[in-house]
């Protein structure tokens, strides 16, 4: 009776030892709890908002016209022959003092003469467009009458002379200033072709 009880206690004690041994085997030998690695939080960098690019600023007073460079090629051959065909080209027009806007630069000058009683003078200049516009109102005080030209979209200013077919004309648009004078010669057809060739 006593022996059985001792045996039963021995079995129970052995079971307890094994149970404790099993628990001890699952513990961390260092005594520190094992921590699982925390996932690193990835913070996405904010995408910068694109800044709209402003449209390019147009460059002012840029001439798109094609200016003539040769007195012998102005207008059509027929009109040029009728107007100055019997005349001699005397000079390039440099040095003539005529109404012109501030800052004007002579691009082409043609001075035709025949004998002592007839001639045609053409001065084509360029200047800042604002100066061309500012110079037009002052022509009235010099006797010019200005109006819009229907055939080449520019200001056409006329100063009648004292003789037949003797007059001064100014055609201005954008940054181009044309001075044209005739003495005893009808030159309006050639002027119209010159202006149309420049302004289109």
Spatial CA neighbour of 90 closest among 122, 129, 51 = 122
Class of CATH domain 74-199: alpha beta
Residue appearing with tokens 């908002």: 49
Q: Is 186 exposed, middle or buried (0-12, 13-18, 19+ CB in 10 A)?
A: middle
**Gap between the Cα atoms of 166 and 145, Å rounded:** 15
3-state secondary structure of 73: helix
Spatial CA neighbour of 149 closest among 99, 198, 184 = 198
As a residue count, the chain comes to 200
Contact indicator for 152, 192 with CB cutoff of 8 Å: yes
Q: Is 188 exposed, middle or buried (0-12, 13-18, 19+ CB in 10 A)?
A: middle
Residue 50 is predicted with a pLDDT of 53
Contact indicator for 87, 113 with CB cutoff of 8 Å: yes
Q: Which segments in the chain show pLDDT lower than 50?
A: 1-44, 54-63
Radius of gyration of the chain (CA): 50
Residue 26 is predicted with a pLDDT of 39
Spatial CA neighbour of 177 closest among 65, 44, 20 = 65
45-93 pLDDT, tens digit per residue, is: 555 555 555 444 333 333 457 899 999 999 999 999 999 999 999 999 9
């Amino acid at each position: 009776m006593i022996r059985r009880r001792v045996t039963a206690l021995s079995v129970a004690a052995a079971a307890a030892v094994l149970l404790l041994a099993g628990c001890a085997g699952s513990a961390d030998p260092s005594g520190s709890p094992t921590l699982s690695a925390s996932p690193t939080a990835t913070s996405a960098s904010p995408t910068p908002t694109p800044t709209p690019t402003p449209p390019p600023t147009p460059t002012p007073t840029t001439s798109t016209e094609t200016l003539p460079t040769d007195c012998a090629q102005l207008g059509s051959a027929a009109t040029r022959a009728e107007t100055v065909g019997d005349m001699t080209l005397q000079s390039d027009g440099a040095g003539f003092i005529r109404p012109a806007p501030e800052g004007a630069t002579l691009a082409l000058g043609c001075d035709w003469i025949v004998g002592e009683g007839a001639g045609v003078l053409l001065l084509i200049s360029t200047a800042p467009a604002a100066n061309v516009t500012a110079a037009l109102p002052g022509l009235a005080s010099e006797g010019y009458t200005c109006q819009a030209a229907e055939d080449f979209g520019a200001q056409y200013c006329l100063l009648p002379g004292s003789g037949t077919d003797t007059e001064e004309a100014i055609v201005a648009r954008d940054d181009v200033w044309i001075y044209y004078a005739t003495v005893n010669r009808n030159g309006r057809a050639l002027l119209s072709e010159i202006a149309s060739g420049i302004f289109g």
